[in-house]
Structure 1
Amino acid sequence: MDISVIKERVRYGETDQMGVAYHGAYSQWFEIGRTEFCKMKGVVYKELERSGYGLVVVELFINYKRPLRYDEEFEIHTYVEEINKKMIKFGYRIIKDSKICATGYTKHLFILLSSFKSTDAPEEVINCFLNK
């Protein structure tokens, strides 16, 4: 299984009054990881969109395990959990000092931007994710 690993740091604006990372920051970190994972696999969102396709989030799940605090460094691990011609599910792990702080996933549908209707993904995109 291919995994991308990105190093990040908790920014002040990503914390709440208690000094821990605000829960909404995790979905943004997932997006950062997902974008980098796609680039690593040769799938660039802009090119996908120029071809008339979109990849929309239809489900988001986060399981918080340990808090992250302002200025702490952590890693975003991103990988594909499931893929078929209509949908892709990305998995995520947020890790600090080899300890899992959060896990989660996002499910995405491939759509035609012209109609916002679900469609089959281009075969070359699926092949990029499957290393074919």
Structure 2
Amino acid sequence: MRTIELYEHRAKYYETDQMGIIHHSNYIRWMEEARLDFMEKIGCPYKKMEQEGIICPVLSVHCQYRSMVYFDDIVKIAVKIKKYNGIKLKLVYEMFNETTGQTCTVGESEHCFLDSNNRCISLKKVSPAIDSVFCAYMEE
């Protein structure tokens, strides 16, 4: 399996809640940032997919919070393809504090592929090049 450089996010002050910790809703945003970064790094930029008429909506998202993140902490996010069949894609995320190495959050997101008319498509048929990239980076 190929190694991808981890996505890095520095926790912003505006992302904190009244208790001074990162509000739980921000982790979903960070997953999206990391997903787009991951797709860029593996050679499937989301913008290019959209230009080809392929959209990739979120079907579900899940987070499990394990430890708190505070303002100015640097969070590293690993993204991996857990499942892929040409029609659906499931990604897993692990977020950890760069300083302590402690896992902060783990999550998953599931996506499908649609054409510009919002009809489900198979990347194996519509875009074999993108399909082969996702297959190459899938967890074994």
Is residue 2:120 matched to residue 1:80?
no
With structure 1 as the length reference, what TM-score do the two structures score?
0.93
Mind listing any 5+ residue stretches in structure 2 that lack a counterpart? none
Q: Deviations over 1:10-64 (max 9, x none)?
A: 1011110001111110011001110111011100111111111100100000000
Query: Are residues 106 and 4 of structure 1, via their aligned partners in 2, closer, same or farther at CA, if it must alter by over 3 Å?
Result: farther
Aligned residues with identical type, % of pairs: 25
Q: Output aligned runs, 1:98-113, within 5 Å.
A: 98-113=101-116
Provide the secondary structure at the position in 1 that maps to 2:40.
Answer: helix
Q: Output aligned runs, 1:60-75, within 5 Å.
A: 60-75=61-76
Is residue 2:124 matched to residue 1:119?
no
- Aligned pairs, how many? 131
With structure 2 as the length reference, what TM-score do the two structures score?
0.88
Q: Distance in 2 between matches of 1:4 and 1:78?
A: 9
Query: How much is the aligned-residue C-alpha RMSD, in angstroms?
Result: 1.4
Conserved? CA contact 1:62–1:104, under 8 Å: yes
Kindly indicate which of the two structures has a greater share of residues assigned to strand.
Answer: 1
**Moved >6 Å (runs of 4+):** none
Task: Please state how far the C-alpha of 1:103 moved relative to its aligned partner.
Answer: 0.2
Q: Look up the match of 2:16.
A: 15
Mind listing any 5+ residue stretches in structure 1 that lack a counterpart? none
Provide the secondary structure at the position in 1 that maps to 2:26.
Answer: helix
Query: Are residues 125 and 26 of structure 1, via their aligned partners in 2, closer, same or farther at CA, if it must alter by over 3 Å?
Result: same
Q: Distance in 2 between matches of 1:62 and 1:47?
A: 28
Q: Look up the match of 1:45.
A: 46
Task: Please state how far the C-alpha of 1:85 moved relative to its aligned partner.
Answer: 1.1
Q: Distance in 1 between matches of 2:84 and 2:5?
A: 17
Q: Output aligned runs, 1:87-98, within 5 Å.
A: 87-96=88-97, 97-98=100-101
Q: Distance in 2 between matches of 1:116 and 1:16?
A: 37
